[in-house]
């Protein structure tokens, strides 16, 4: 029998949920609103919420000063590129670890995860020097490579967890039915793992899009993605809140829209296998 939930209680829960949602969304909303103010209004006290002279001048100014679309295309190249290369490496790796585990598979997985615990600054100098010697500084290829490397452990871990949920009997049945390794992965494993692969893809694009440490340190102008773009507007003494807000809005908008449309897939993927 379904549990009876009173209308009052439902109202209460709804209101609380909206309040928490708004609280979490508020900084983004405030940034968005500020981006339409003049610099003067942006720092006015008390701040005006909706009733001010709306203007697009910040967006025009930001695009004129620092070419949003070049940064945007760099971000797309780097985040999609690193994720796709990561998946190509990680699907076979996760398959091997999930279905043909060896004595040291668990150790290997823990070791990979442990690299994520290490502070990135610790390897900044060697990596910087390697990149310098290989001519990869400030190149989109270089940034794609470094982001592939730093996100690979997470991609492999996520895929490994999803693959573990797939009953090995079904893969064995495919083998008995005459499927070779390639057909087994193509016709049986991949279709069954689609929700997991999709959510890994989405999550990793978001992670790569937001990655700031390596992109800031290893790029200057040519390959600079949106993280550098935002950073160039934050200065300790400048009072360019409105322009910073416009730049931030432009930088997070694409990923916000992607996340919005794929949230169902994301949630399904992240809870995949949690409930049998």
Partner 1 sequence: MGSITLQRVNKAFGDLTVIPAIDLEIADGEFAVFVGPSGCGKSTLLRLIAGLEDVTSGAILIDGKDTTALPPARRGLSMVFQSYALYPHMSVRANIAFPLKMARLPAAEIEAKVQAAARTLNLTDYLDRKPRQLSGGQRQRVAIGRAIVRQPEAFLFDEPLSNLDAALRVQMRLEISELHQALGTTMIYVTHDQVEAMTMADKIVVLNRGNIEQVGSPLDLYRRPDNLFVAGFIGSPKMNFITGPVAAGLDCHTLGVRPEHIAVSTGGGLWTGTVGVAEHLGSDTYLHIHTENLGTLTVRAGGEIMLGHGDTVGLTPDMANLHKFDDKGRAIR
Taking CB under 8 A as the rule, which mask of x and - marks residues 195-214 in contact with partner 1?
A: --------------------
The reply to whether 177 sits near partner 1 by the rule CB under 8 A is yes
Helix ranges restricted to H, the chain: 7-34, 39-42, 57-66, 68-99, 105-117, 124-134, 140-164, 168-176, 181-183, 190-210, 213-218, 226-231, 241-261, 263-270
Compute the distance between CA of residue 201 and CA of residue 112 in angstroms, rounded to an integer.
19
Contact window for partner 1 (CB under 8 A) among 20-28, 54-62, 140-148, 173-181: 173-181
> Is the CB of 119 or the CB of 191 nearer to partner 1?
191
Site string for partner 1, 121-160 (x = CB under 8 A): ----------------------------------------
Sign of CA dihedral 131, 134, 136, 137: positive
Minimum CB separation of residue 168 from partner 1 in Å reads 9
Binding status of residue 119 toward partner 1 by CB under 8 A: no
Distances (CA, A) of 140 to 17, 81, 238, 258: 41, 10, 30, 22
Which one of 1, 5, 176, 275 is in contact with partner 1 (CB under 8 A)?
176
CA distance 250 to 230: 9
| In the complex, minimum distance from the CB of residue 177 to partner 1, in angstroms, rounded to a whole number | 4
Stretch that binds partner 1, among 17-25, 69-77, 139-147, 168-176 (CB under 8 A): 168-176
SS3 62: helix
Judge whether 244 and 93 are in contact, CB under 8 Å.
Answer: no
Count of residues that interact with partner 1, criterion CB under 8 A: 17
* Binding footprint of partner 1 on the chain (CB under 8 A): 167, 169-170, 172-180, 183, 187-188, 191-192
């Amino acid at each position: 029998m379904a549990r009876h939930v009173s209308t009052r209680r439902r109202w209460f829960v709804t209101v609380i949920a909206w309040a928490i949602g708004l609280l979490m969304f508020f900084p983004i909303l405030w940034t968005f609103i500020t981006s339409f103010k003049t610099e003067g209004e942006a720092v006015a006290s008390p701040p005006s919420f909706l009733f001010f002279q709306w203007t697009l001048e910040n967006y025009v100014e930001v695009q004129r000063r620092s070419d949003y679309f070049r940064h945007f295309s760099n971000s797309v190249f780097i985040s999609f590129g690193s994720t796709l290369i990561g998946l190509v490496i990680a699907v076979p790796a996760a398959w091997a670890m999930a279905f043909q585990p060896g004595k040291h598979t668990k150790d290997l997985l823990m070791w990979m995860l442990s690299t994520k615990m290490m502070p990135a600054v610790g390897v900044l100098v060697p990596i910087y020097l390697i990149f310098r010697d290989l001519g990869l500084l400030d190149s989109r290829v270089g940034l794609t490579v470094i982001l592939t490397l730093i996100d690979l452990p997470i991609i492999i871990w996520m895929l490994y967890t999803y693959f573990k949920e797939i009953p090995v009997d079904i893969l064995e049945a495919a083998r008995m039915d005459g499927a070779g390794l390639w057909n087994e992965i193509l016709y049986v494993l991949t279709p069954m793992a689609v929700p997991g692969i999709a959510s890994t893809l989405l999550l990793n694009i978001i992670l790569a899009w937001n990655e700031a440490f390596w992109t800031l340190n290893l790029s200057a102008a040519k390959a600079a993605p949106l993280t550098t773009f935002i950073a160039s507007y934050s200065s300790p003494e400048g009072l360019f809140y409105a322009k910073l807000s416009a730049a931030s809005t432009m930088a997070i908008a694409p990923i916000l829209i992607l996340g919005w449309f794929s949230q169902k897939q994301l949630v399904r993927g992240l809870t995949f296998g949690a409930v049998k």
